[in-house]
Amino acid sequence: MAGAHSFAEMEKPDVPRSSARRNFFKEVCAVAVGIVAGLVPAVSGLLVFLDPLRRKTRENDAVLVASLNSLSEDGVPRKFSVIASHTDAWNRMPRVPVGAVYLRRLGDKQVQAFNVMCPHAGCFVDYEASRKGYHCPCHNSSFSTDGKIADPKSPSPRGLDELQVEIRNGNEIWVKFQNFRAGEREKIPV
Amino acid sequence: MKALFDWLDRRTGYRRIIEYSLYENIPGGARWRYVWGSTLVFCLAIQFITGLFLWMCYSPSSQTAWESVYYIQNEMAGGWLLRGIHHFTASVMNVLLVLHLMQVVIDGAYKAPREINFWFGLGLLLLVLGLSLTGYLLPWDQKGYWATKVATNIMGIVPMVGPALQRLIIGGPDYGHHTLTRFFALHAGVLPACVVMLVVWHIFLFRRHGITAKDPKRKADEYFWPDQVLNDAVACLAVLAAVLFLVLRPWLFHTGGGLGADLAAPADPSETYSAARPEWYFLFLFEFLKFFPGGTEIWGAIVIPAFVMLIIFLMPIVGRWNLGHRFNVGLSFSLLAGVAFLTFLALTQDRRDPAFKIAVEEARRDAERVKVLAQSPTGIPREGAVTLLRNDPLTQGPKLFAKNCASCHRYGDNDGTGNELKDAPAASDLKGFASREWLAGLLDPARVDSPHYFGGTKFKEGKMVKFVKKDVAGFSDEQKAQLQKVVTALSAEAALGSQHELDQRDAALVAEGKTLITTEGMRCTECHQFHKPDEDTTAPDLTAFGSRDWLIAFISNPAHARFYGKRNDRMPAFGADKVLDGHAIELIADWLRGEWYEPGR
């Protein structure tokens, strides 16, 4: 029995030790075996942890968002929810809101669509009719009605993200909904 | 470099900590028999690491727990390995705990001045058992759900506080979201925190009193580092190898089944699960309970186990006497033998029980089926994966058929679930109902009055049987060819998915047969109606015969004027009389028609 000793008064005990070379070999082995044993659970965990990097974002198909009649002719934008199928880890949902868009009519058969996310940090921008533009409540980025940066002092690195629009059957507005990386000058899909 | 370490050492004193940890004196030198404590610390480390990563993917609620575990197990890279390691390390740890405890008792390491450390060790044993118990429920599968229910119900029989205690543990009067949040908090928070505290004390006291050296000492004293550390590391590696062996066992022996830990079907309080058993290291308690008749369970579940724990707890005091130590060793071996015997008994009884085998087989089938459904294009809905099986004709059809239909009907000579029945069938065998083969058999003079068709019913002497046995038996070759077309056309009315291609290929024959059905020569419309309302008919409508709607309507009310009317034999009106709800009838109809999700179909 080593006998009771407190941590502070502990000294390296004076016990005869076997030869240094033999000890070195054992030390290396002990460390190596210890690392191998510890690594297996850690690696299996890291694999699972890194799983999201392995997954590709699914490209969305265009979805029906609204009808042309619901947009005013003067080009004032209106906000619509985008209802689409959505996969959230294990859940697959056929029709749920996946985001929102501003739609504005440009002409008889032409519509412009913007993702409501501010390209600066991803806040939800508001359309303010009085200012004739979009305003981000988080860091005061402002955008004109056509989505371009309105105020050069805006922190947003680019204008609102325009989305592909298609008019089908004369009256239906189909939008290819996509999110883009915030904080970048270029539009890069997430 | 040295300057940096010196700087660090002056501020943290880390060198002294390392020295203190590594240069412990081992009287008589390093030995393999001293590795058990370290392997347990290693197991704890594995559980903490793997548990933390599992935590990042686990979602404790009754609609997401099974689903998130399914996702870890089947969708995430390396998830099966992570979960497998966590699951089997828990098993291995229970074995190591017992070994450690046995060694402590045999070597008398519980004696003064180490009593308190012995008690800490017992505390750790109980905490690890608690971790096993709480962890078993977290996947929220049928196995964990029903096994844990037994455990929490036992908790409820504790006098006075039982019901309140039970309610507190499961977070309400019944199992639900809060059962999971509570079990998860216990499993990943409260119990591990207690374990850490006790382990630190345990190791601190162990160092304070030193190792209990086994005499005779074979060598001179050595430090813990490196000889004993090497021994410990090799032992830990062996433990890991054992765990990996258990994880990879199905692959190593080609036994089939998934790698890693099992995941049964999602928990369903409305679905029996006769295969419910606790984890193998709790089987002895499960078996022990069987010896206590109603009203006395408290003895088997609480009083006796608590008493045994108390005796073990008192070992350091009993062990002060020479005979006391022998008593302790003897008791430990007897308890171990008792546990082994009870476990053996539980396993043997299950192995000899055919009902249990069927239950296990059903459980395996459901577990595999729900995996197939979860991977289907529609995937897991937000209501949870339990709905996948509830709405699956292949899963529910046979069960519903066995319960509601098999008292008269058969399905391929059995009750639908594969059980052969002793009684003779009193109504038709519905396997392949409305298919060409089935209809050809019905119109075969040799088979129409067999038990497969009308043999067991009052229609055995009816018009249809007479028609087939007399008229059809005398058909000319030309008429026989026409009859075949009638069968083809009638079967096409059912629009069976399995015959879709055949029906399309034979579209011309179907059209011909449809016309023939209405001809006088075939005599069908003398009793049946076919695509033309006819109030005088006395036999079931042949319009869309065997289609989904037809079948649902028939099962709902066979005595409806469209079917047998007043001439209906004994078949209940399952829908009209509310014997079954609409959903159940749909499931039976879909199953009889062979319509359920199959990958690639």
Residue among A1, A7, A22, A90 with most chain B CBs within 10 A, to mutate: A90
Query: What percent of chain B is predicted at pLDDT more than 70?
Result: 100
Q: Give contacts of A97 with chain B, Cβ < 8 Å.
A: none
Pair B102, B64 in one domain? yes
How close B560 gets to chain A, by Cα (Å)? 38
B407 occurs within a structural domain? yes
Residue B49 to residue A45, Cβ atoms within 8 A? yes
A36 occurs within a structural domain? yes
Pair B426, B344 in one domain? no
Using the 3D structure, point to which of B294, B321, B352 is the last residue of a domain.
B352
A67 occurs within a structural domain? yes
CA angle B120, B121, B122 (to 5 degrees): 90
pLDDT computed for residue B534 by the predictor: 87
Pair A44, A134 in one domain? no
Pair A104, A169 in one domain? yes
B380 occurs within a structural domain? no
Residue B3: is it exposed, middle or buried by C-beta count within 10 angstroms (0-12/13-18/19+)?
exposed
Model confidence pLDDT, tens digit, residues A161-177: 999 999 999 899 999 99
Taking 50 as the pLDDT cut, the residues of chain B under it are none
* Distance between CA atoms of residues A141 and B477, nearest Å: 87
B5 occurs within a structural domain? no
Pair A164, A81 in one domain? yes
Q: Give contacts of A49 with chain B, Cβ < 8 Å.
A: 53, 56
Pair A44, A67 in one domain? no
CATH of the domain at A160: 2.102.10.10
* Distance between CA atoms of residues A29 and B226, nearest Å: 9
Pair B175, B291 in one domain? no
pLDDT computed for residue B588 by the predictor: 98
**Which of A2, A38, A44 has its CB closest to that of B85?**
A44
B29 occurs within a structural domain? no
Model confidence pLDDT, tens digit, residues A43-59: 999 999 999 999 888 77
Residue B77 to residue A54, Cβ atoms within 8 A? yes
User: Are the beta carbons of B481 and B510 closer than 8 angstroms?
Assistant: no
Q: Give contacts of A16 with chain B, Cβ < 8 Å.
A: 220-221
Pair B255, B286 in one domain? no
Residue B45 to residue A38, Cβ atoms within 8 A? yes
* Distance between CA atoms of residues B131 and B125, nearest Å: 10
What is the CB neighbour count within 10 angstroms for residue B436?
Answer: 20
* Distance between CA atoms of residues B433 and B494, nearest Å: 9
Whether residue A2 is predicted with pLDDT greater than 90 in this model: the reply is no
Residue B385: is it exposed, middle or buried by C-beta count within 10 angstroms (0-12/13-18/19+)?
buried
Model confidence pLDDT, tens digit, residues B330-361: 999 999 999 999 999 999 999 999 999 989 99
ipTM given for this complex: 0.87
Pair A82, A167 in one domain? yes
**What's the number of domains chain B is made of?**
3
A11 occurs within a structural domain? no
Residue B226 to residue A41, Cβ atoms within 8 A? no
A187 occurs within a structural domain? no
Pair A67, A47 in one domain? no
> At B485, phi and psi to the nearest 5?
-65, -35
**What's the number of domains chain A is made of?**
2
Domain that residue A33 falls in: 20-51
Pair B252, B325 in one domain? no
Whether residue A8 is predicted with pLDDT greater than 70 in this model: the reply is no
Model confidence pLDDT, tens digit, residues A122-153: 999 999 999 999 999 999 999 999 999 999 99
pLDDT computed for residue A5 by the predictor: 43
Q: Give contacts of B211 with chain A, Cβ < 8 Å.
A: 1-2
* Distance between CA atoms of residues A36 and B33, nearest Å: 22
A146 occurs within a structural domain? yes
Domain that residue B290 falls in: 282-352
pLDDT computed for residue A18 by the predictor: 52
Q: Give contacts of A36 with chain B, Cβ < 8 Å.
A: 237
pLDDT computed for residue B219 by the predictor: 85
User: Are the beta carbons of B570 and B407 closer than 8 angstroms?
Assistant: no
- CA dihedral defined by B274, B279, B281, B286, rounded to 10 degrees? -30
Give A3's pLDDT tier (boundaries 50, 70, 90).
very low
Pair A29, A119 in one domain? no
Cis peptide before B226 (omega within 30 of 0): yes
Question: Please, how many CA atoms are within 13 Å of residue B356, restricted to the half-sphere of its CB?
Answer: 10
